[in-house]
Amino acid sequence: MDYLVKAMEGDGFRVEDIGLIINTHSHPDHCQANEVIVEKSQALVTLSEEEDEFRSTLGEKLYSVLGVKVPQFEPLFYLKEGNLDLGTENKVELQVFHTPGHSPGSICLYWADNRILITGDVIFYGSMGRTDFPSGSLSLLKNSIDRLSQLDVECLVPGHSTEFGSIVKGKPNVKRNFQAVKLYL
């Protein structure tokens, strides 16, 4: 996990300064580093209750297939659909959207003040999340993508880069990205 710490530092983030880890879902490539980050920063961890149940039950199958251990962490609280207020001095208000499909308890975060949508593995630049893992559902993913496409978004921040790129910037580009992905659904 040292490579992750170095990558974060290269992006100008210090692991020691992290206070809260928000997991969009519990697949290993998104939460396997929780333990290391918590150890280095004493950060608190959160995710949706549906996703935590998936991680501790059905997720076992996925982790064993992938040959990795189930990440061990205790969420401080569960994310629920609605507003999430963060910070004390520089407060940030995010909207949490329950967006199942890639995983049963997947969430996306929308920062309305800046029109930024953090999508985890629901939608990418020119693509969408897989649905062939345990508890994946193409019909639920389609509904989630349809719902997110209604938001006023200037910047779409996915959980991974694709061959097309990573972050989608500009409202027209975000709109085109949603339209292109919906063609595959």
- pLDDT tens for 16-66 read 999 999 999 998 888 888 888 999 899 999 999 999 998 887 666 666 767
In this model, does residue 164 exceed pLDDT 90? no
pLDDT, position 31: 87
Sign of dihedral through CA atoms 176, 179, 184, 185? positive
pLDDT, position 58: 66
pLDDT, position 124: 96
Domains of the chain (ranges, CATH numbers): 2-182 (3.60.15.10)
Per-residue exposure over 80-106, b if at least 16 CB sit within 10 Å of its own CB, e if not: eeeebeeeeeeeeebebbbbbbbbbbb
pLDDT, position 156: 98
pLDDT, position 62: 66
Tokens of 180: 């292109």
pLDDT, position 116: 98
pLDDT, position 69: 72
User: In angstroms, how far is the first alpha carbon of the chain from the final one?
Assistant: 35
Mean pLDDT of 79-106: 95
